[in-house]
Amino acid sequence: MAIKPAEAKPVPVGGLLGGVLVSQVANSALHLAQPLLILKISGSFGDAALFAAFDTAVHMAGTFMGGWPADRIGARRLLIISTLLRAAALAIIPLAWAAGVLTLYRAMAAYTADALVRGFTDTAVHTVPLELGENNRDKLDRINSRYELAFELGGVAGPLMLGAFMLWMKGIAVQAVIPAGFAAAALVFVAVPKQPRQSKSPERVRAGGTLSGLRLALSDKTLLLACVGLALLNLYPLRKLFSAFFAKGILHSPAAAGWLGAAFALGGAGGSILYGRFPDLGSTSEWIIAGACGSIALAVGWIPAGLAMMMAAAFLFSLVNAGARLSLARRLQQATPLGAAGGVTAAARLGANAASVLLKALFGAAFALGAGIRLSFAVVGTGVGLLALLQFVLAARVARQDRPALSDLTRDAWDRESAAGGAQKSGVIV
């Protein structure tokens, strides 16, 4: 009887996927509820967008700090603790609302505390698949595609749930459901299997941290290009601003934000299913080119000022963007030593969140100018279009990096043929 290879052993991911699904339902609802609440209290589109940029900057700081505990105490434990802390931070808002003491600054303080802890969660939840996959290409593809599918399904349910609550319930009920969702997700994450013993090396305990991950990424061209690619393609955090501002500013229907948010998420779910079913459908560079085309669709989708057209653009963008990010994630994870999993993941997430900060700052600055909704969207669309050009450049660099392997094989074959031909001419039998 043949021995079953180690690679064929199934990876237990039910706890991870269930926790991601539940937390993303709450998270996607939060991503729409936050700008709408800040907008309601402050009355300013610019303030809401600029706070979103500040929120992401704090998130980025949390991501930077999350590398060391992810390597030290383990990504699973950090994921559970940080998700519970998110529930505690966000519970401040409905409690203050119920007590009649909710102000703009109290809401911002609660969202800021959540953003900091969210950075730790971000690092942890992206490190767990790497630890479970153990650098195996097939395992990583299965885990990443299923993770992305659970993430996007939660992204579909969250906006729809928020839209329904906004129509049928009071605002305080919406704000109360979100922290309850994170508390439930933390309980589900307990089912994530503990880190495999073989990956707990002495080097892993001594090393770790975002700085060591950054040094490793900067010294390895494969890791560096993967990190840059994940940063350039990290446009999906703009979903909440695109959805909320397009619904409020152009359609004048805040409840439509839920439908647009669901279109973004459905596209991402479709992309994760497509990549999971056909992981070799295209090379990494080809997926990046597709992602760049999706970015262009997002940049111009608002122009007709119709919900259906914007939903179509959002769906197309998310479809190809998810596939491109999954291909780059596998590339990053395969090249990452398990002993530096937390540090490299934190470094990659740091770059992605830095790009998100710049995009949200552009969004905030465009709307803070007070030049009108359409002109503000034109500025944002131009920025997204320029980012699409950089994505095309990245695709060319990745294709060039993948080419040397074939060139080396061709050169070796040529050298062998030349050596054989020279030997035959000299009468030497090879």
428 domain residue, yes or no:
no
375 domain residue, yes or no:
yes
Extract the tokens encoding 299.
Answer: 């940049």
Tell whether the model's pLDDT for residue 343 goes beyond 90: no
Q: Residue 94: its pLDDT value, please?
A: 92
SS3 category, 415: helix
Alpha helices in 91-220 (DSSP H): 92-99, 104-133, 137-168, 171-189, 202-206, 210-219
200 domain residue, yes or no:
no
Provide the CATH number for the domain around residue 330.
1.20.1250.20
Q: Which residue has the tokens 């990245």?
A: 394
415 domain residue, yes or no:
no
412 domain residue, yes or no:
no
pLDDT digits (tens, 9 = 90+) for 43-66: 887 777 778 778 888 988 898 888
Distance of CA 24 to the CA centre of its chain: 12
pLDDT digits (tens, 9 = 90+) for 389-403: 999 999 999 999 887
pLDDT digits (tens, 9 = 90+) for 60-72: 889 888 888 887 8
pLDDT digits (tens, 9 = 90+) for 2-14: 444 444 466 678 8
The residues, ordered by sequence, that sit 6+ positions from 274 with a Cβ below 8 Å of its Cβ are 281, 319, 323
419 domain residue, yes or no:
no
The one-character DSSP state at 237 is G
Mean pLDDT of the chain: 82
Range of the domain at 396: 11-193+207-400
pLDDT digits (tens, 9 = 90+) for 77-127: 999 999 999 999 999 999 999 898 999 999 999 999 999 999 999 989 988
Higher-pLDDT residue of 190 and 242 is 190
Tell whether the model's pLDDT for residue 315 goes beyond 50: yes
Tally of domains in the chain: 1
pLDDT digits (tens, 9 = 90+) for 153-168: 887 787 777 777 766 6
Q: What is the largest CA-CA distance in the chain?
A: 98
Whole-model pTM: value is 0.71
Residue 279 amino acid letter: P
